[in-house]
Amino acid sequence: MVKKTLQDHLIQTNVGPFRVLIFGAAITTLGLWTTFQDPFNPVKLATILLTASWLVGFIIFNINNVLQNRVRLQFLVLSIIFLFSLFLASIMTDESRIAFIGENQRNNGFLMYFGLAVIAIAACLLISLNNTFNLFRSILWLGLSLGIYGLLQSNGLDPIEWVNPYNSVISTLGNPNFAAATMATFATIAFGVQFITSFKIHFRLFALLVTLILSATIFFSDARQGLIGMAVGFGTFIAVWLYNKTRKIGIGFLIIAAAVGVLAILGMLQIGPLANLLYKGSVSVRGYYWRAGIEMFKNYPIFGVGIDRYGANFKEYREVGYVLNYGFDISSSNAHNVIIQMFATGGIFVGTTFMALNLYVIWRAFIGLKVLNKDNRLKLAALFSAWLVYQATTFISIDTLGQAIWGWLLAGGVVSLSTGGSAISKQDLSRNLELNKLQSRSLLKSSLSFLLLIFALMFTLILFRAETNMFHTRAIYTTNLQANSTYLKKAAEKTINFPWVNPIYKATAASYLVNFGYVDQGLLVLNEVVKNDKRNAEAIGLLADYYTQLKKYDLAIANRVSLSKLDPWNAANYLELGRLYKQAGNFEKMNTVKNKILSFAPETAEGKTALIELTQ
C-alpha cells in the first residue's frame, strides 16, 4: 500500500514540471512584444531562462534518478562538459555582455545555451512513453496556431503591421526561413502521429489537419528550409514505419532517402542535379559565411573569436568575392551553420562537446529504435524525425530561439524514450521513502525553483527595460522634429546609461544625440563604446563620419585606418580614407589607398571614383 502511494506521489509531482516544460517551450515560440526594439528574441530568451530556472529545482531534487540511470547520467555529463566549455569561452570573450546575452537580434549567448541545456536535461527526466500523447497534443495545437497565423499573414490579414522586407509569412519567429523551419519540425510530429494506432482516430485526424495546414503555410512562405526540413522529417519517419513492417524495405528506403537528402543539400548550394530546383541565392551565400567561420577557428582554435562574436569578426575574414557580389556594407552576425558557429566562436572544446552531444542523441535514437516495438518505436521515431528537422535546418541557418528550444527539448525526449521511456525509475520506486519525506523534498524543491525564478525575473526586467528604452528613443528620433530635442536627449541618456545595454543600442542612441546637436556628448559616448569594444565597426564608422563633418581630419583618418583593419576588403571605406589623405595633403598615402582599391575592386563604382578623385 505504501509503495503504491509513493508511486502515485512521484507521478503527481512530475505533472507540474512537465507542464512547465511544455508551456515554457510553447511560449518561447509564440512570444513577441511589439514595443521592444527587437520584438522577438528578448522575449524568447527571457522565457527560456524563466522556464529553465523553475526546472533547475526539479533536476537537483531528482539527481538520484539521474545518477542511477546510466543513459541519463551520460547525457547529464555531456551537457555539463559542454556548458563548462562554453562558460570558459564566454569569460575569455572580449565583450562580456555579448558573450552572455548574445549579439543584437540573435541572443545566442551563454545564457541561452545554459537554459536550453537545463531544458534538455529536464526533458530527459520528464518525457516518457506514458506522456507522449500530452506532448504531441501540445505540439499539434502550437503548430496549428503558427500555421493559421502564417496563413493570415500570407493573405495580408496580419493584425500587426510589421516592417518586413521578407516574405510576409514570418509567424512569431521574425523571418520566413525561421518560421518555415519551426513549422517543419511540428509538421513532422503531426505527420508521425497519424501512424500511431494506439492514439484514437479523432486525434490522428486532427494531426492530419495540422499537417495539411502547416504544409500549406510552409509552401506560401517560399522558404526552402521548410520544404527540405519536411522532406527530412517525413522521410525519416516513413523509413522507420516501413522498418516496422519489413526490415529490408525500411533500410533500403532510408538509404535512398539519405542519398536524396545529400543531393538536396548540394542542390541548395548550386551543386548537382537538383540545383535548378532547389538553388536559392540566400542559401548559396552560406558558403561565404562557412568559410569565414572556418578561418576564424583556424586563427583562434582554443577559445574561438568569442561567444556570439562572429559578427564582430566577419568583415575581417570574409572573402573579397563576397563584397564584390553582395556589397561592401553587407555583413553577417552568424555563420549560418551551428556547428561551424560553435567552433568559430567557442573554439575546439565548445565545438567538440557540442558535436558529442548531438552524436549521443543519434546513437541513443538508433538504440531505442532497435529495442522498442510497434507504436512505441513510432513515438520515438516521431521525436527523432522532428529533431533531425532541427538539425537539418541549423546546417544552413542559425539557432533561432523559437525553434532551438524544441531541438533541445526533443533531444532530451529522444534520450529518455531510448531507455524505455519511463519518467520514474525503478530505483525511485524502491527507495522505501515515507510520503511525508517526499512532501518535504517537494516543498524544498519548489522553494529553490522559486528563488532561481526571482533572479531570472530580475534579469528579464532589466533586459526588457533596455529594449523599451531603445524603442522609445528611436520613436522620438524618427519624428525628426527639432522641438523634440529635449525629449530625445533624455531618452537617449536613459538608453545609454542603462546597465548592460546592448553596445549597438548605445552607439545608435549616441548617433541620435550628435544628429540632434548634442555633438560633444554623442562623440564622448561613441568613443566610450569603441574603448570597451575595439571591434565595434559601426561605432568606429560613425566616429569617422562625424569627425569628417567636423573637419577633424586626423581623428577621422585614425578611425578609417582602424576600420580598414577590421574590414580589409571595404573599398567604400578606402575611398573615404583616400579623400581624407588628399584633404590633408598626404598624397603618398592617398596613392597607396587608391592602388589598394584598384587591386581588388577596379570595376566597382568606388574603383572608378578613386581613379578620378584620388589624384594629386
- Confidence band, pLDDT 50/70/90 cuts, at residue 285: confident
CA distance 508 to 517: 15
* Cβ proximity of 463 and 45 under 8 Å: yes
CB burial class (10 A; 0-12, 13-18, 19+) of residue 605?
exposed
Mean pLDDT lowest among 51-55, 272-276, 518-522: 272-276
pLDDT in tens, 419-430: 985 554 444 444
Distance from the first to the final alpha carbon of the chain: 98
Torsion sign, CA atoms 180, 186, 188, 194: negative
Domain assignment present for 537: yes
- Percent of the chain predicted with pLDDT > 70: 88
Q: Is residue 525 part of a domain?
A: yes
pLDDT given at position 440: 45
Instruction: Compute the distance between CA of residue 256 and CA of residue 554 in angstroms, rounded to an integer.
Output: 64
What confidence score (pLDDT) does residue 108 get?
96
CA atoms within 13 A of residue 280's CA, in its CB half-sphere: 13
Q: Quick one: which of 450, 464, 474 has its CA closest to 499?
A: 464
Q: Name the domain count of the chain.
A: 1
Q: What is the mean pLDDT of residues 62-86?
A: 92
Mean pLDDT of the 596-609 span: 95
- On whether the CB atoms of residues 504 and 513 are closer than 8 A, the answer is no
pLDDT at 483 over 80: no
| Closest by CA position to 383, among listed 119, 44, 124, 180 | 124
Query: Tens digits of per-residue pLDDT, 495-508?
Result: 999 988 999 999 99
Query: Is the predicted pLDDT of residue 157 greater than 60, yes or no?
Result: yes
- Structural domain of 497: 466-613
Q: What is residue 199's DSSP assignment?
A: S
Q: What is the pLDDT of residue 443?
A: 54
pLDDT for the residue 19 = 93
Residues 6+ apart with CB under 8 A from 211: 187, 190, 191, 194
Residue-wise pLDDT tens digits, 19-65: 999 999 999 999 999 999 999 999 999 999 999 999 998 898 888 87
- Predicted TM-score of the model (pTM): 0.92
Q: What is the pLDDT of residue 276?
A: 65
> Does any domain span residue 528?
yes
**pLDDT class of 10 with cuts at 50, 70, 90:** very low
Q: Encode pLDDT of 125-134 as tens digits.
A: 999 998 999 9
Mean pLDDT of 81-92: 98
Q: Which helix (H) or strand (E) holds 76?
A: helix 70-91
Q: Is residue 544 part of a domain?
A: yes
Outline where 31-163 has alpha helix (H). Answer: 41-60, 63-67, 70-91, 96-101, 110-126, 132-154
Q: What is the per-residue pLDDT for 191?
A: 98
Q: State mean pLDDT over 215-235.
A: 91
- Looking at residue 320, its pLDDT comes to 95
Sign of CA dihedral 433, 439, 444, 448: positive
Asked if the structure places residue 575 within a domain, the reply is yes
Query: Range with the lowest mean pLDDT among 55-59, 301-305, 542-546?
Result: 55-59
**Quick one: residue 105, left, alpha or beta (phi over 0 = left, psi -120 to 50 = alpha)?**
left
pLDDT at 385 over 50: yes
Residues in the chain, overall count:
616
**Quick one: pLDDT at residue 13?**
54
DSSP state at residue 484: G
Q: Read off the pLDDT band of 15 (50, 70, 90).
A: confident
User: What is the CB neighbour count within 10 angstroms for residue 258?
Assistant: 14
Say if residue 515's pLDDT is above 50.
yes
Asked whether residue 482 is domain-assigned, the answer is yes
Flag whether pLDDT at 2 surpasses 50: no
Per-residue model confidence as pLDDT tens digits over 214-223 = 999 999 999 8
Predicted pLDDT at 263: 72
State residue 418's pLDDT score. 95
Q: Which of 107-121, 422-436, 466-480 has the lowest mean pLDDT?
A: 422-436
Distance CA(398)–CA(388), nearest Å, equals 15
Residues 6+ apart with CB under 8 A from 528: none
Give the CATH number for residue 571: 1.25.40.10
pLDDT tens-place string over residues 193-204: 999 999 999 999
- pLDDT surpasses 50 at 364: yes
The x, y and z cell numbers of residue 64, run together, are: 538520484
| Vertex 394: Cα angle to 393 and 396 (nearest 5) | 75
Q: How many Cα atoms are found within 13 Å in the side-chain-facing hemisphere of 471? A: 14
User: How many Cβ atoms sit within 10 Å of the Cβ of residue 276?
Assistant: 9
Other CB atoms within a 10 A radius of the CB of residue 292 amount to 22
pLDDT of residue 4: 43
Span 254-264, pLDDT tens digits: 777 777 766 76
Asked if 342 and 131 count as a contact pair (C-beta separation under 8 A), the reply is no
Q: Would 284 be classed as within a structural domain?
A: no
Identify whether 483 is part of a domain. Answer: yes
Least confident residue range of 92-101, 274-283, 333-342, 498-507: 274-283
